[in-house]
Amino acid sequence: MTKRMRYRDWKWLWWYHFFLLLITVNGQTRYSIPEELKRGSVSYTLSKSECFTLKMKELSGDRYVPELVLEKPLDREKQSVHQLLLTALDGGSPVKTGTSSIIVTVLDNNDNVPVFKRTLYNISVPENSASGSVLVRVEATDADEGVNAELEYRFADSTPQALLSILRMNSDTGEIILLNPLDYESSNKIEISVTAKDRGVPEMEGHCRVQIIVIDVNDNVPEIILTSKPSPVREDAPKGAVVALISARDLDSGNNGKVMLQLTNESPFTLKPSFSNNYALITNGALDRETNSEYNVEITATDSGSPSLSSKKTICISIIDVNDNPPFFNQLSYNVYLKENGVAGSILYSVSAKTLIGQWVLSAEFLNCFRVQISAP
């Protein structure tokens, strides 16, 4: 049977602890009534917190200690430091309290992916941009800290080698630098993927796309192309006869690619536009082989760019002769005097006729007493 404590025993024990309560240093009690005197006489409270709570842990000998328990996962990026206040209350009257400040510092874990400010970067660049110029700067942030937030920029592993020969990525700043000139005619749009990777463990990476629109510059000279080679033209060809088919081409775009053809020198020819930079070279006046047996027609092609570019091409056109000129004598009439009893077969007089091409043709009326002898000129 448990021995019951008599009244005088309780009285002695009460005075003993009352004396101890009077011993204080700087106004703080150095000793409090043991919890054994009154089970549950000391209670604990914790300041309001979403992440932490108090739990009383039972030890051996019916002893209890408060434990700080984590209720939900911590997120350093939302709150890196938690300041808590632990309060102890005794069971006396009036109630006495003691407090303790608890500061919880949350250590970083590499749990955040780098995030670009934009998922798609759209830029426009003239094709004559100088090598070494910075086209665009991509930027990403990482909510972690320390090495977990140190970023390295680079092109995606799937980037074609052709693009790597034109563009370079500054791994520290995220600047995309032009290595070699762009060419609108080869590619007027470039799409490339960029990766930002942190140096944490494990590594985390974010992605974005860069779209580069290449602006055309008037850097291509227009070309003159003979669709059909010119054939020799009869000098009696009618006005509007087609001599040759010609087309113009410019690799530039927009106004830079619009081409106009025109004849530089005067000639009995003109250009007749048909469709989409195609022309027909046609006759525009009378041809006369005896005056000009050959024409060198110069054609100029000029684009509509600023400044405009031009090129020239010369076409040689031969004129075919037509029998359109009668032969003629040097004189309209000839008077010949001869002696009677002339010897038959003797030459009385020489006459000549010719055409504009230089061929001599002789003819005569035969009379009873004369004949015509034809000789080479």
For 157-213, what is each residue's pLDDT tens digit? 999 999 999 999 999 999 999 999 999 998 999 999 999 999 998 899 999 999 999
| Residue 261 predicted with pLDDT over 90 | yes
Does residue 170 belong to any structural domain of this protein?
yes
| Residue 377 predicted with pLDDT over 70 | no
| Residue 75 predicted with pLDDT over 90 | no
Does residue 350 belong to any structural domain of this protein?
yes
**Domain end: 282, 301, 320, which one?**
320
| Residue 3 predicted with pLDDT over 90 | no
pLDDT per residue as tens digits for the range 119-161? 999 999 999 999 999 999 999 999 888 899 999 999 999 999 9
Does residue 25 belong to any structural domain of this protein?
no
pLDDT per residue as tens digits for the range 320-333? 988 777 777 777 77
Q: Which are the contacts of 141, defined by CB distance < 8 A and separation ≥ 6?
A: 114, 115, 117
Does residue 274 belong to any structural domain of this protein?
yes
Same domain, 299 and 342: no
Does residue 1 belong to any structural domain of this protein?
no
Angstrom distance (rounded) from CA 55 to CA 75: 22
Same domain, 194 and 263: no
Q: What is the DSSP letter of 131?
A: T
Give the range of the structural domain holding residue 97, as residue numbers without chain letter: 32-105
Q: Which of 50, 90, 54 lies closest to 69, judged by CA?
A: 54
| Residue 375 predicted with pLDDT over 50 | yes
Please tell me the total count of domains within the chain. 4
pLDDT at position 343, please? 74
H helices of 95-219, in order, are: 161-164
DSSP 199-259: SSSS--EEEEEEEEEEEP-S----EEEEEEPPPPEETTPPTT-EEEEEEEE-SS-GGGG-E
**Domain end: 105, 128, 162, which one?**
105
pLDDT at position 60, please? 76
